[in-house]
Amino acid sequence: MLRLALRPSLLLAALVTLPAAAGAQRGAARGTYFPEPGDRWEHRPARAAGLDSARLAEAIAFAVSRESKAPRDLERAHYQSFGREPHGEATGPFKERGDPTGLIVRHGYIVAEWGDPERVDMTFSVTKSFLSTTVGLAVDRGLIRAVTDTVRDYLGPTLVLGGPPSRGAPGGATLIDPFDTPHNRTITWDHLLRQTSDWEGTLWGKPEWADRPTGEPGEWATRPRKAPGSAYEYNDVRVNALALAATNVWRRPLPQVLAEYVMEPIGASRSWRWYGYDDSWVLLDGEAVQSVSGGGHWGGGMFISARDQARFGYLTLRRGRWRDRQILSEAWVRMALTPTPAQPTYGFMNWFLNTDRKMWPSAPASAFAHLGNGTNLVYVDPEHDLVVVARWIENGAVDEFLKRVLAAVEARRAER
């Protein structure tokens, strides 16, 4: 398929009017279509998939025109934003990003792509959706009995490699027990998944109060704790505490868990990578394991292509099912889509909900998205059987972009 060699305007026209692959009708006849592994993902013309081609082209042109103004050098962008926070130094890898990129999937078929959808870039907090998925897999397999259980009951002390020596630990390593304070012992998996834990402590050199600090600096480390579940706070240190807890439950690296139980079954490429920090290495059963991060706040997180983002979005559109296999249980997806009482537009991380159409007024209330800085958007719309990936678009332009995509659907409906 001609793609990267074309100028953007020609590329857009070519992809929106791309003929259907020979096997598309056969796939539809078998029922719900699921793409084959790798590049074997069938395309359909926009019109055949129920979208107006001209309006769809306008939507994509709008997305390209509203490219994020942050530097493409993502480490430089970090130091212009999060790097200004206390303890804001980068400790994980960064990668210079590519052009505005995305794709639109209707009824399982690709109807349009732009930019370089196979390029591997950072996805920032979309990583959290992959992280919570590894917790869901643990719940589905009984490794975690219930999300209402306290995390402390599942963990023992963790030996961190590369730190200062401590009593009872080998030189160059130290024991930590991040859920062993009076407050932290009361935190459940559900609290961590919904970002309502108010977990206290320092992990990988970052105190929780240093992430998006508010109020008076003299109170950051001394303020009273809020009861778990009572208040929502988006906090990457606490997300990383969840990643460490999940790693201890699985007793293996989370990228291996995700690859075996999700990415390989849905036919994702082998190009994605999931990183932690320079100092987030622990000893598990005699082996060094990196505890991965839940985003790119200080570097690291998931590095992935737009194509693979779309596959994951399509899995969640199909409520955890891929062909005849239930990869994530229906019960887990239902919980992930349940609004958090303290923040009704948030389910489990990082399932952003359009409750009362507050997130995206132009989209249905049933829509949700896996969302990360950049902006990295994996929009999932059950009402329209639609998955939309848009990378490096201004956050303030997302609703207008979605409005234009949905207008392409409605315009085609009006013709019928």
pLDDT at 167: 53
Evaluate if residue 377 carries a pLDDT over 60.
Answer: yes
Dist CA 210 CA 238 (whole Å): 11
Please give the model's pTM, rounded to 2 decimal places: 0.92
pLDDT computed for residue 163 by the predictor = 57
Mean pLDDT, rounded, of the chain: 91
Q: Residue 25 pLDDT > 90, yes or no?
A: no
Q: Cα 152–157–163 angle (5° rounding)?
A: 130
Asked if the peptide bond before residue 350 counts as cis, ω within 30 degrees of 0, the response is: yes
Q: Residue 233 is which amino acid?
A: E
User: What was the pLDDT predicted at 4?
Assistant: 32
100-116: pLDDT as tens digits: 999 999 999 999 999 99
- CB burial string 180-209: b at 16+ within 10 A, e below: eeebbebbbbbbbbbbbbbbbbebbbbbbb
Question: Which residue do the tokens 């932690």 mark?
Answer: 276
Q: What does each C-alpha distance from 159 to 168, 176, 179, 278, 414 come to in angstroms?
A: 10, 6, 14, 15, 62
Confidence of residue 416 (pLDDT cuts 50, 70, 90): low
Nearest to 225 by CA among 175, 186, 281: 186
- From residue 260, give the alpha-carbon distance in Å to each of 113, 126, 256, 257, 307: 28, 19, 6, 5, 18
Rounded (10°) CA dihedral 153, 156, 161, 166: 130
Average of pLDDT values for 206-232?
93
Reply yes or no on whether the pLDDT at 165 is more than 50: yes
Segment 108-142, tens digit of pLDDT = 999 999 999 999 999 999 999 999 999 999 999 99
Spatial distance between the Cα atoms of 334 and 348, rounded to a whole number of angstroms: 10
pLDDT in the model for residue 169: 54
Q: Angle at CA 282, nearest 5°, toward 373 and 213?
A: 40
**In which element (H, E) is residue 61 found?**
helix 53-65
Round to the nearest angstrom and report the end-to-end CA distance of the chain: 31
